[in-house]
Structure 1
Amino acid sequence: MTSTSEMIDEKPRTSPPDSASAPSATLGGDRKGTVEQLALLLFIVVPFLALLAAVPLAWGWGVSWLDLGLMVSFYFLGCHGITIGFHRYFTHGSFKAKRPLRIALAIAGSMAVEGPLVRWVADHRKHHRFSDAEGDPHSPWKYGETVPALLKGLWWAHMAWMFDEEQTPQQKYAPDLIKDPAIRRISRQFVLWTVVSLALPPLIGGLVTMSWWGAFTAFFWASLVRVALLHHVTWSINSICHAVGKRPFKSRDRSGNVWWLAVLSCGESWHNLHHADPTSARHGVQRGQIDSSARIIRWCEQLGWAHDVRWPSASRIESRRQRKSADPA
């Protein structure tokens, strides 16, 4: 059976269906309007301002264990929703999931506040098809290889690309998800899951402390700061991990391994192996490489929730290693 990633690497033999006749998977379709652009700006700027204020505020009046616990819990819920759900499962088909897990991963990823599911998947599949070449939605090498060009490219790859009005055709790159009514519905309900994601921490904080102050601090730390931190860690995979890092495996792009992002990215920063073997359920395949996403997939497999997991064999890993050139005689 042809994998999802293998399908998108092939040249399309026919033109994609007319978008007007295809079911819409996101509220904005394949183009961002003015309202959506402004909403995107709001959801980036406000959490980022909170992140900037976090250090001086923590120094001034501290952060409670409750706030810290909520921030960490919701951070890794959303992060694994992206890494396991949006990325390894929905984009690359690294494993098969029973229906309840499929729905749970779709909702958890949506709570990361990184955009509707189908749009996220379409963008990422297009990224793999044209990785670090013309057509890649967010390559840091877009403007060239000089230092000024790379700095401009890093800004583009990190977040500026999201404001491009032209969007990846969802019907072309994610038709399998559009055909699923439940997944299409969750994708279209992105605003609802954003509200849930932002509202749950202050609701819990307020109820536990029985105070408005407890609700406010939980909202600041576990909603705003958490979302901003997760955004920038995720975007760093697009920017930093395609500009620097070790490349022990063969790939047709400049993806690299950045070890200091491994824990916060839930294993996604072992990016070189991912681009060398996109459907692999594990990205951190070398000794000492922490990959919490792979560990959770293993647990789901053991519980019977996931099956047909594409674990990388030793021979498959070895076949993708970079070979050093032989020394001249």
Structure 2
Amino acid sequence: MTISPDVLRKNPEDPGGPSASPGETPLPSATLGGEQRRSVEQITLLLFITVPFVALVAAVPLAWGWGVSWLDLGLLVGMYFLGCHGITIGFHRYFTHGSFKAKRPLRIALAIAGSMAVEGPLVRWVADHRKHHKFSDAEGDPHSPWRYGETVPALLKGLWWAHVGWMFDEEQTPQHKYAPDLIKDPALRRISRQFVLWTAVSLLIPPVVGGLVTMSWQGALTAFFWGSLVRVALLHHVTWSINSICHAVGKRPFKSRDRSGNVWWLAVLSCGESWHNLHHADPTCARHGVLKGQIDSSARLIRWFEKAGWAYDVRWPSDKRINARRKEETAKAA
């Protein structure tokens, strides 16, 4: 399979290109566990899903009974949107789809910020997502909610699979095939392999800040609960909802070959990712919320990066580009 230029558009500053040809030195692994999910990794994954989720469930009665301090709330919100934009701008729009080009410091910063979202190593995330776009909602898609059929029981089973279940399946995405450009960049390969380190940094920042500000172990503990565990769980489920909910429901004003939809009530928490129909109609577009009133904080930050000179050759939507992807009835209404 040849990956389309729109999916693997090379940055002049990035080494890139196809994986090693016969007779050449194979590309090095970009994840500690290779391409197969081992039992130890699956157990670790289970812990990273269940422990923050239990904290998220416990957060409601705890907040109701004892409240949450402004410090803990600030750490939760700040760390949430740092990781969320690291995923949406970095892992997704930049590394996966090449929606813009980035100067090297920004490229490294986006790789680290995305890693701090605790959603997996950079190369694995990108490879899985590129495969998702190649087979979106068809056989071969790693996480389609329509995997088991269109009846209500089948869709419910499929939603669970798309939301969480697919991550426990044996790894099926060959990273050297879907992300050779990232693997060939030594800095990105190193950050991808350092996923455990960046996870630790992400989880330790809130308790360290909380402890230093309050000068107490209690302050560190509550900051860890809200700023680390609850934050990670919330970000996980919002991100996974793009895979599940946004491929099952939502408005579809644009032509796409799958069932991606726009889900407005996820827009702020997903940093603009839930305007998912346009994204699948035009994957390399730097803005997903292209219609009036569609909030897209990721696109706003990319614009600021562009003005600062950190990002360039941004693929912004034009009226012609948008109208070319509208469904006929939507185009007439517009």
Shorter-chain TM band: over 0.9
Give 1:4's aligned amino acid. Answer: V
| 3-state SS in 1 of match to 2:256 | coil
CA distance in 1, matches of 2:23, 2:58: 46
Which residue number in structure 2 is paired with residue 88 of structure 1?
A: 93
User: Alpha carbons of 1:21 and 1:5: their partners in 2 closer, same or farther (altered >3 Å)?
Assistant: closer
| 3-state SS in 2 of match to 1:247 | coil
Q: Is 1:296 aligned to 2:296, yes or no? A: no
User: Alpha carbons of 1:105 and 1:178: their partners in 2 closer, same or farther (altered >3 Å)?
Assistant: same
Give 1:283's aligned amino acid. Answer: H
Which residue number in structure 2 is paired with residue 217 of structure 1?
A: 222
CA distance in 2, matches of 1:124, 1:29: 17
CA distance in 2, matches of 1:238, 1:75: 19
CA distance in 2, matches of 1:27, 1:19: 22
Alignment of 1:88-237 (within 5 A): 88-237=93-242
Superposed displacement of residue 282, structure 1:
0.1
Give 1:108's aligned amino acid. Answer: A
Contact kept? 2:8, 2:181, Cα under 8 Å: no
Q: Which runs of 4+ in 1 moved over 4 A?
A: 13-20
Contact kept? 1:5, 1:278, Cα under 8 Å: no
Give 2:241's aligned amino acid. Answer: S
Residue 7 of structure 2 is aligned with which of 4, 9, 13?
Answer: 4
Gap regions ≥5 residues in structure 1: 8-12
Superposed displacement of residue 28, structure 1:
1.2
Give 2:274's aligned amino acid. Answer: S
CA distance in 2, matches of 1:105, 1:17: 33
Which residue number in structure 1 is paired with residue 76 of structure 2?
A: 71
Q: Normalising by structure 2, what TM-score?
A: 0.93
Q: Is 1:324 aligned to 2:329, yes or no? A: yes
CA distance in 1, matches of 2:23, 2:177: 10
Alignment of 1:21-60 (within 5 A): 21-60=26-65
User: Alpha carbons of 1:156 and 1:20: their partners in 2 closer, same or farther (altered >3 Å)?
Assistant: farther
1:136-192: per-residue Cα shift (whole Å, max 9, x none)?
Answer: 000000000000000000000001000011331000000000000000000000000
Number of corresponding residues: 321
Which residue number in structure 2 is paired with residue 10 of structure 1?
A: none
Give 2:26's aligned amino acid. Answer: S
Contact kept? 2:289, 2:296, Cα under 8 Å: yes
Contact kept? 1:19, 1:171, Cα under 8 Å: no
CA distance in 2, matches of 1:4, 1:247: 22
Superposed displacement of residue 20, structure 1:
9.6
Q: Is 1:258 aligned to 2:263, yes or no? A: yes
Give 1:86's aligned amino acid. Answer: F
| 3-state SS in 2 of match to 1:274 | helix
1:237-287: per-residue Cα shift (whole Å, max 9, x none)?
Answer: 000000000000000000000000000000000000000000000000000
Q: Is 1:282 aligned to 2:263, yes or no? A: no
Give 1:103's aligned amino acid. Answer: I
CA distance in 2, matches of 1:58, 1:245: 31
Contact kept? 1:262, 1:290, Cα under 8 Å: yes
CA distance in 1, matches of 2:21, 2:139: 20
Please report the RMSD computed on the Cα atoms of aligned residues, expressed in angstroms: 2.0
Superposed displacement of residue 60, structure 1:
1.4
Superposed displacement of residue 14, structure 1:
10
User: Alpha carbons of 1:321 and 1:225: their partners in 2 closer, same or farther (altered >3 Å)?
Assistant: same
| 3-state SS in 1 of match to 2:283 | coil
Superposed displacement of residue 6, structure 1:
7.5
Superposed displacement of residue 21, structure 1:
3.2
1:185-217: per-residue Cα shift (whole Å, max 9, x none)?
Answer: 000000000000000000000000000000000
Larger mean Cα displacement after TM superposition, 24-33 or 174-183: 24-33
User: Alpha carbons of 1:30 and 1:19: their partners in 2 closer, same or farther (altered >3 Å)?
Assistant: farther
